[in-house]
Amino acid sequence: MSEEPAPAPAGAEAGAAPLPPDQDRARVDQVPSAEWRRHNQVINNFYGDPHAGRARFGIAVHASARTVTGPIGAAEVAGVLAGYVPPDGFDAAVAGLRERHLLVLAGPEGVGRRAGAIALLGRVLTHGEPLVDLAPSAALRELAAEGGLRPGTGYLVRDRVETGEPTARQRFDVERLVQQLIRIGSFLVVTADADAATRPHLRELSVPWRAPNPSWLFDMLVADVDRPAADDPAYRRLRDRVAALTLPREVIEVAARLPDGVDAALGALDDPAPGEVADWFDDRRSLRDVLSVAALAFAHGLPEPAFEAHRQRLLALAGEALAATDRGPADKTEPPQHAVDRRQKTSLPALSSHLPAEPGESGGEHRLVFRSESHRERVIAELHDRHSVEVWGPLCAWAHEIAAQRPVSEAHVQLALGVSLLCRVAPAEVRESLLAPWSDGEPTQWLTASYVLSWMCFTDALAPVALRLALAMAGDQSPGRRATAAMSFAGVLGIRYPAEALTRLWHLALRDGQVSRLARESLDSLFCGTAAETVDSVVVLDFLGRALRETARVDSTARRVDNAMAAVVAVLAAVRPDTGEPMAAFVLRSDRASAPTLGCLWAEALRGARRRGGAVDALRATLAALGGGEQGRELARSLGSQLRAHLSGRKARQLRGLLGRELRRPAAGQRLPDALTAALLDAFDAPAHPVAHGARVR
């Protein structure tokens, strides 16, 4: 997670005009929360184990859902430095960084810019100084401000997002940032696309970044591998093929297969999928065939009957064009032999025999998928390069229909994934023709747009673009766009960029209106999404504690303070969707150091009467999940002690009596073990050691 995402002042976001209360409550109320959470979990699960879902989703993931901001661990730094093969120009880049303290590595995705940035920082920081990943949205002006950066630290901004500010303003901010970095003895490396070298405010600081020599990298990777002699014909052929590779990822994949033999390593280089897709399109396909394969690209992995219904609808939307090419009625029913060929080896589509069920599904079933996981992305790229309005006209109309359909289904998730793949080759068209109308359309379209932003995180190149879009939506006047942003920050996007997600969700949660409810639910979902790394869960809790105190300190509006408390209670009551376990219990059991923060949040939630009922219910559920054994009683005692530490003597006595009555009262036909309740309440009788945290919430 980020070092410490700090809440901004409790009013409007910095630099933005205050936004009016949400006026479109009825439409926001129509957001299908259960389906949103379920499909969000499907996407999160795929990122957690992409191999399990490759057949259904038809993509290979080259990124993870891990947090990409915050301290860079010593083990990761050591791993990069130990096996790093520098590209041409590395020493000159080191000299430039030492001189200016700021360097921009400009190059295409996949050439090793992040590893290069870490290696550069490792060369100029030689005494174990910390390295920190900053968000791609980090504003130059804020970094240059006093206190924006710490002395003696190495910083990395990966895939920086341009703010769109005037060039003169950005040039001024860059110069201030350079002066500040030199003054405090810190260094910053920014990675960006190749166009960064042409931007006036970055030109003098940019160096073109290329991949290291593939042969050198390969030799380093296989140095300890039992391999054939250098003059072995098959091994020479393998090395010749490696020398032509352009991406380190490809070299690493080949090297990883060498222990299984030269033929296995060569197999990594012999992917027939690119040629298969191009050959298919070269074969003078009819418009009907092209539209059918386009339907599969955007409705991939659906049960066969559902896919066929969607395909027929797309053909109907292309009626006039099809009528001209078919020389007959465009909406006629196709004979079975003319439908998408699902079984012939020469055809791109194929019927999967039986895909396993996802969580929440009754069982596996036949689903239509591409034969290769790389076909889907390549088909979409070929559609973009080869076809115009005759395909994209009906295809866009079809996509709008699916996005607006109720109820939300797997088709929405698959459509969103297809759109995210299209964004790789046509980002402007996706933004203007799909994301903009969907995020300002109907609730199911908001949801589909949020899924697109989540799927964009499957590649490191698109994740910063998704962040930029979500940040813009969060500050928009449209309730739909704010709702879309809130839902997108609840998933993979929020896990990757927690500081930005928490800050924007907190601002949205403080507002009046139904987007506030969605923001609270998104905070709940984001908290649950951190279960894989409980240190990230504690960062969420710490942020809420600071944000709550800041709101109480600077905001005199009782309604906003109440909204803040509602957000905290929603997080305390969060339940893991995969196990049904209260997240607070899971975090407390996994990391006992979370007890002070949880105790603080519960103390504030119980202090006021308005949200006390929800806080008591959340506390009861958490205690029940801890269990009545010795460990459960010990954790309850620790939580009670921390809760008591944040209460005055009078308030502690009042709450002890209230909790004694409420927790001993049966709820939903069940009653907490007396020993567990006693463990929590006994802590109230011990001498208190108050903790000073500034303003309390009224």
How many angstroms separate the Cα of 198 from the Cα of each of 22, 193, 205? 42, 10, 11
CB 80 within 8 A of CB 115: yes
- pLDDT, tens only, 166-179: 878 888 989 999 99
- pLDDT, tens only, 507-519: 999 987 789 999 9
Size of the chain, expressed as the number of residues it contains: 698
Pairing of strands 70-71, 131-134: antiparallel
For 6-31, the DSSP string reads: PPPPSSSPTTSPPPPPP--HHHHHTS
Q: Is the pLDDT of residue 460 over 90?
A: no
Mean pLDDT over all residues of the chain? 83
- Comparing 224-228, 344-348, 457-461, 646-650, which segment has the lowest mean pLDDT? 344-348
b vs e for 23-40, b when ≥16 Cβ sit within 10 Å of the residue's Cβ?
Answer: eeeebbeebeeebbbbbb
d(CA 63, CA 598): 32
- pLDDT, tens only, 337-350: 344 555 444 466 66
> To the nearest 10°, the Cα dihedral for 485, 486, 489, 492?
-90
pLDDT classification of 332: cutoffs 50, 70, 90: very low
> To the nearest 10°, the Cα dihedral for 57, 59, 61, 65?
-30
3-class SS of residue 513: coil
For 169-182, the DSSP string reads: HHHHHHHHHHHHHH
Q: Which of 469, 475, 458 is nearest to 434 (CA)?
A: 469
- Comparing 155-159, 232-236, 358-362, 549-553, which segment has the lowest mean pLDDT? 358-362
What's the pLDDT score for residue 29? 59
For 62-110, the DSSP string reads: -S-SS--SEEPPHHHHHHHHHT--PPTTHHHHHHHHHHHSEEEEE--TT
Mean pLDDT, residues 86-103: 95
pLDDT classification of 589: cutoffs 50, 70, 90: very high
Q: Is the pLDDT of residue 401 over 80?
A: yes
How many angstroms separate the Cα of 523 from the Cα of each of 432, 512, 671? 28, 16, 29
Tokens representing residue 423 in the block: 């964004």
Q: Is the pLDDT of residue 397 over 60?
A: yes
Mean pLDDT, residues 449-454: 95
Q: Which residue has the tokens 């009016």?
A: 20
For 447-472, the DSSP string reads: HHHHHHHHHGGGSTTTHHHHHHHHHH
d(CA 396, CA 402): 10
Q: Is the pLDDT of residue 229 over 60?
A: yes
Mean pLDDT, residues 236-264: 91
Q: Which of 145, 151, 115 is nearest to 130 (CA)?
A: 151
Write the burial class of residue 305 (CB in 10 Å: 0-12 exposed, 13-18 middle, 19+ buried).
exposed
Q: Is the pLDDT of residue 615 over 70?
A: yes
Sequence letter at residue 184: I
What's the pLDDT score for residue 697? 46
pLDDT classification of 47: cutoffs 50, 70, 90: low
- Comparing 8-22, 107-121, 232-246, which segment has the lowest mean pLDDT? 8-22
* Euclidean distance between the first and the last CA atom of the chain, given in angstroms as a whole number: 30
Q: Which of 302, 405, 319, 395 is nearest to 355 (CA)?
A: 302
3-class SS of residue 376: helix
pLDDT classification of 440: cutoffs 50, 70, 90: very high
What's the pLDDT score for residue 24? 53
- pLDDT, tens only, 301-328: 898 899 999 999 999 999 877 776 665 4
Pairing of strands 187-192, 131-134: unpaired
3-class SS of residue 392: helix
d(CA 93, CA 108): 17
Mean pLDDT, residues 62-72: 67
What's the pLDDT score for residue 347? 62
Mean pLDDT, residues 86-115: 93
Q: Is the pLDDT of residue 300 over 60?
A: yes
Phi, psi at 155, each rounded to 5°: -120, 150
What's the pLDDT score for residue 105? 95
- pLDDT, tens only, 19-38: 444 445 555 556 656 666 66
Report CA Rg, the chain.
28
pLDDT classification of 355: cutoffs 50, 70, 90: low
> What percent of the chain is modeled with pLDDT above 70?
82
Ramachandran bin of 7, using left for φ above 0, alpha for ψ from -120 to 50, beta for the remaining angles = beta
For 672-698, the DSSP string reads: --HHHHHHHHHHHHSPP-----SSPP-
Q: Which of 540, 537, 560 is nearest to 550 (CA)?
A: 560
What's the pLDDT score for residue 570? 96
Write the burial class of residue 377 (CB in 10 Å: 0-12 exposed, 13-18 middle, 19+ buried).
buried
Mean pLDDT, residues 383-390: 94
